[in-house]
Amino acid sequence: MKNARLIILALVVLAAPAWGGDIVLRIGRQAVSAEVADTLAAQERGLMHRDHLCGNCGMLFVFAGPGRYGFWMKNTPLPLSIAFIGRDGRIINIAEMRPNTLEVHYPQRDAVYVLEMQRGWFDAHGIKPGDGVVGLPAQGRSAHGNTK
């Protein structure tokens, strides 16, 4: 029985996501449930191999410091929109990303956070550069430049 519990525990640990948990962000009147990617492993995996995101769900990348972090869509079948966010919590720029491509998207200036949502989500909710994001966690542990 003890061995069975250890095996079950090991399976749960192995199946656990590589991100730091979920948080709720607010952008204007919109609430977003975001998976937090604040480690190198979570940031490298991102939303790769996912074929679904709920309507107000996304992934928030949290970096150790400001930088021009590049994002691409290798092995990512979901079309995504990406918002680069500065240290002040304001959206720097938003880009539309095509699935399964190696086209790299960068912020227009140093970013500390990046939020990926379903393609068109920001536009559909009237969210634009300069808008503030509330509920951002403290800067993360990763200092990784390119992700995914």
| CATH at 110 | 2.60.120.1140
CB count in 10 Å sphere of residue 114: 24
Please check whether residue 105 lies inside any domain of the structure: yes
Residue 145 lies in a domain: no
Distance from the Cα of residue 140 to its chain's centroid:
12
The answer as to whether 14 is a domain residue is no
Residue 5 lies in a domain: no
Residue 78 domain boundaries: 19-134
The whole-number pLDDT of residue 138 equals 83
Residue 72 included in any domain: yes
Task: Identify the pLDDT of residue 69.
Answer: 95
pLDDT digit string (tens) for the chain, length 148 residues: 444 333 333 333 333 333 346 999 999 999 999 999 988 888 889 989 888 889 899 999 999 999 999 999 999 999 999 999 999 999 999 999 999 999 999 999 999 999 999 999 999 999 999 999 999 998 754 444 444 4
pLDDT at residue 148 in the model: 43
In-domain check, residue 146: no
pLDDT of residue 139: 72
Enumerate the H helices of 2-107 as residue ranges: 2-15, 40-45
* 79 CB-near residues (< 8 Å, 6+ apart): 96, 97, 98, 99, 118, 119
Q: What is the pLDDT of residue 77?
A: 95
Asked if residue 11 is part of any domain, the answer here is: no
pLDDT at 42: 87
Report the number of distinct structural domains present in the chain: 1
Q: Is residue 117 in some structural domain?
A: yes
